[in-house]
Amino acid sequence: MDRFVIESALSDVNEIFLSGVENSTLEQFGIVLGFKATNTDQVLNAFIGLKDIICENSAQLAICKTRLTGIYDLEIKTEGLDEPIRIMNKAIDNETLGAIEDRINNNQGVVLTTNVSEEDNIISISEVQIKACD
């Protein structure tokens, strides 16, 4: 699947939240990309396409600060792509961002998932960075 098709479908994220944070003893937690029900099939196909591209390679997630407080760009990088998947201008509240930072600092594993399906819906993330990006 083409990177632009994946980016287009995943750009409809309307909420970013965490799962598995209520129990801090879990080995991993999930960063959940929340979507409205209207484009479920497109989102699921794009996420499965991304998962297929990542395959056995590792995936990294960068949460990039923008000039607007509380608004971030997400970049999903893997060797299977020439450029990262970019999901631009998404709101992440301070509580969620703080929880992500805490878990990164505690070396807790991270998965990326969506709210559209229970199956085929998890991508392991080898590294998460919160940084200022160009």
**Encoding tokens for residue 60?**
């990294």
Q: Give the model's pLDDT for residue 63.
A: 95
Instruction: For residue 36, report the phi and psi dihedrals to the nearest 5 degrees.
Output: -75, 160
The pairing of beta strand 127-132 with beta strand 59-65: parallel
Q: Is the pLDDT of residue 23 over 70?
A: no
Q: pLDDT of 42-68, one tens digit each?
A: 999 999 999 999 987 889 999 999 988
As a whole number of angstroms, the distance between CA 90 and CA 14 comes to 7
Residue 52 parent element (H or E): helix 40-54
- Tokens 């600060």 belong to residue: 65
The predicted-structure confidence for 9-20, as pLDDT tens digits, reads as follows 999 999 999 987
CA–CA dist 5, 26 (Å, integer): 34
